[in-house]
Amino acid sequence: MANVPWTVRPEGLLVEVRLTPRAAMDRIDGVETLSDGTPVLKARVRAVPEKGKANAAVLKLLAKTAGLPASRARLLSGDTARRKTILLDGDGAALARAFAELFAAKG
């Protein structure tokens, strides 16, 4: 996958996410390209966007998807926006490979 929404960093994997709160279920729908050409992971959570509930839910969802504890996911930007930048602490290259395989399998 050449156009992916994640970047390997020394401290882990930086992931660009477009979040939809108040969804029917917590899930990642795959990779989407925004109108400006930026690739993002399209995520949905049941939580409401109040008092950080949706942010906490997306951090938990991404960490679970990566096989990490929730404490290893940090919101770097986008606290009140739908677009978020999240850092998954760990081996960035291994996380990138796992995400590439997971989302290639989803099509």
Number of domains in the chain: 1
What DSSP letter does each residue of 17-55 carry, written as one string?
A: EEEE-S-SS-EEEEEEE-TTS-EEEEEE-SS-SSTTHHH
Domain range holding 70? 6-105
- Split at pLDDT 50, 70, 90, the class of 3 is confident
Q: What is the pTM of this model?
A: 0.92
Instruction: Determine how many CB atoms are found less than 10 A away from the CB of residue 17.
Output: 22
Residue 25 covered by a domain? yes
Instruction: Determine how many CB atoms are found less than 10 A away from the CB of residue 80.
Output: 9
Residue 1 covered by a domain? no
Task: Tell me the per-residue pLDDT of 66-82, one tens digit each, with 9 for 90 and over.
Answer: 999 999 999 999 999 99
